[in-house]
Every structure is written in structure tokens, then in C-alpha cells.
Structure 1
């Protein structure tokens, strides 16, 4: 199959960058906070391999999925009944471990610098709660790259709905067609397609446990550092 071409970075006015799985490997933070939450609830702990495919759809989805896993074969109503307590404990613990068990992926800083060197305005758009996202970016020294940061609680709907991308484009003052979306999952790609934004995905992220190269995207990179010379999707 022929590689699909996308414009040179100089033809974009802005870029929207996902956080978990794209800029920072936060799996360790999630696992620690979730297990502390489960201990508080008197429930068994979960392993990283259980958590990894659940990342990316927001904290509510993550907590409900973990409860469903540890309470199986409980009815959905039983899971929902535990949610409020679980949410409160998770929020408490995550606020204390945020950034402590995570690491910036190689090439991220170089990639963000490349985007800025092309004059692109940058926004971080994640399904993580906004407050947690801002703390994490600051802890990892990435906050200075972004004109604005929007989390999963910033708008009425989360990715893969296109609303967050459209609203972020408005905040950046850029048209969707001239705004590049960078992410790690089908959530990012589906939202970008529906919003009219070109999309490039990293190969190393989470993508709900599925092969990322099976996602409909304009291109893929193994490191954000590749953006400095990016021209076409890999075959």
C-alpha cells in the first residue's frame, strides 16, 4: 500500500498533543493509585497488564473498568454502587502519586521543540482531568511548551468525540485543517478525523491494547523527534 502523504509541518498553524501514552508513560502512576484505592475498598489489587489496555478514555472509565474486573462476575449495578467511594479514593491517591511513577518518553522534548521551531502554537488535550494534567506537565518540565491545557473535564464530551478538538482549535485560533493532532490511540484518531484535523500517531503508546498501526491515521512515528523531518506516513 502506498504511503499517504501529509503536509510539511510548515503548513500547520498549530498542533494538539495528547498526554498519556504520547508524551508521558503514566502507567505506573495509574497502577499505584488504583491499587491504593482498591486496598481502601477491601478489594484485590490489579497488575499493570490489566490496567494498560484500560488507559485513555478518562478516569471514570478506568475506575469502572477496574471495578468490573475485580468484582467479576458482579452485576453492573454492583459496580456502579462502588463507584462513588472508588472515585473519591482514587482522586485522593492519584493527587499524591501524580508524576512519581511515570517518565517522559524519549524524543518528546525534541519533538515539541521541532513543532515550536516551525512556529506552531501548541495545546495539550487529554482525557485526564485538567488539574492532574497541568500538575504532571509541570512536574515533567513540559508545561512551558503549551499555550493551553484541556483535560477530560474541560468540555461536555471527551475524545473520541470531536468536540474537544474543535474547542481546542478555537482556543488556539487555528482551523482544524491546519491543526495537527498527535496521539497514541484510536481515540485521538477518531476525534481528529471527525473534527477535520490531520492526525499522526506514535507507535509506542497504549491504544487500548490494540496494534496502533491498524488505526486510520495520516502517519505514524516511533518518536516525536521524527517530526522535525516528517513528510509522509510509513508504508
Structure 2
């Protein structure tokens, strides 16, 4: 295999976390005495980190002001910490796929826009922490995806050149991040894409699941 490491997006690629995010947003909006949001809406809001998720929940035709945003972020952090992992589900093929990737001996890492304070406990709760030598959250570096900094940070932590890394994600942000960092990028079709379906021609490969990604990587 030409790849020397693999980095994975988390929400939408490995784990379906919308149940927890929806409940946290419901509690946040109730605390602020604002109308709730549906799970379908929350699913479309996910992808660019906690702050953008909160802002999208608050936006009812005009962007929320800074004071309301600050209150909402604080409330969301409290409520999400309380429910993080309670309703999270594995996407099909993730457990088997991670086992197969881990068996290759390649160093693996997470690169997500979810803050570290939520990412690390979630990985522990779901039993995924053991697979990864490095975890890069949305606040690990000054910039978040699609800026290349998080992916470059992960590659440095794994001791590999970005050109030798494969990134696997679920959205255009993962594609842009990988392109900006100089990595090969495969995408899964089932995740959170903010209403923009990932197209095969936009990435190096569109793969049904992680096991298919491994088979393809062997032949790349």
C-alpha cells in the first residue's frame, strides 16, 4: 500500500451523533426560551463545528447577535456534555472497517471540527479511542477544517508526510481540507454534507464504507 497513515473525520464518517446534538440543541433552545429545531434541521447544520451549529440553530432569518450567541454556546456546552454519546450510533461497517485498518499496522488519527472536550470522551465512551494514535479536535489548532492546519498537525503527530496520508471523510470540507494539505481523500456517501451530496468526481474515490476504502487503498 502506498499510504503510510490514515486520518478519519468523526461525525458523519464514523459516528452518527445527530441524536445527541439534537437533544443538546433542544435543551439549549429551551433554556433560551426559543423555538426548537428538528433532527432533520440539526443534521443539515452539522459540519463546521460547534459555533456554526449553534449559530445556525439561532438564525431565524438574520444572524444572532454576539451576546445571544455567547449565552447559547455556554448552554450548548453544558447540555452536550450531559448527553454526549448517549444516543450516538455507529454507521454501518465502521467497526469492521476500523478493525481492518488497525490490523494493517498503519498509524490512524481523528481529524474533526468537534472540540476536544467532547471528542475525547466520545471516543472513550464508544470504544474507539484505542484505534487512534492522534486526535485533532476543532480547537487543537488555531484553525479548523477546511484549513489544512488540523490535518497537517495530525500528519506531523503520526510522523508522516501529508502526501503519504489518506484522509477519509463525508463532506466537501473534508475534500477541501485534504486538498489544501496535499493528502489523498476518499469520501463516504452517507454522512453530514450540509445538503451538498459528495460526488465521486470531487474526491479521489467515493467508497461505500471503510472496508471498501481499504480494498481500494491496497490497489491504489
- TM-score calculated relative to the size of structure 2: 0.95
Which aligned segments of 4 or more residues in structure 1 are displaced greater than 6 angstroms? none
Pairwise CA distance, 1:79: 3.3
Preserved CA contact (<8 Å) 1:115 1:227? no
Counterpart of 2:40 in structure 1 is: 49
After superposition, where does 1:75-224 map in structure 2 within 5 Å? 76=63, 78-213=64-199, 216-224=202-210
Question: What are the superposed Cα offsets for residues 53-73 of structure 1, whole Å, 9 maximum, x if unpaired?
Answer: 1101000011011111xxx24
Q: Which runs of 5+ in 1 are unaligned?
A: 1-9
Structure 1 window deviating more from structure 2 (158-167 vs 218-227): it is 218-227
Structure 1 position 15 matched with structure 2 position 6: yes
CA contact (8 A) 2:4 2:106 kept: yes
Q: Secondary structure at the match of 2:199?
A: helix
Counterparts of 2:135 and 2:151, CA distance in 1: 12
Q: Which sections of structure 2, spanning at least 5 residues, go unmatched?
A: none
Q: Number of paired residues?
A: 219
Of residues 29, 40, 62 in structure 1, which corresponds to 2:31?
A: 40
Instruction: Output the CA distance in 1 between the equivalents of 2:218 and 2:2.
Output: 14
Q: Say what the alpha-carbon RMSD is for the aligned residues.
A: 1.6
Tell me the TM-score normalized by structure 1: 0.89
Give secondary structure in 2 for the equivalent of 1:11: coil
- Pairwise CA distance, 1:174: 0.4
Partners of 2:151 and 2:186 in 1: how far apart? 14
**Contact (CA 8 Å) 2:7, 2:109: kept in 1 or not?**
yes
For residue 194 of structure 2, give the secondary structure of its aligned residue in structure 1. Answer: helix
Mapped contact 2:11–2:112 kept (Cα < 8 A): yes
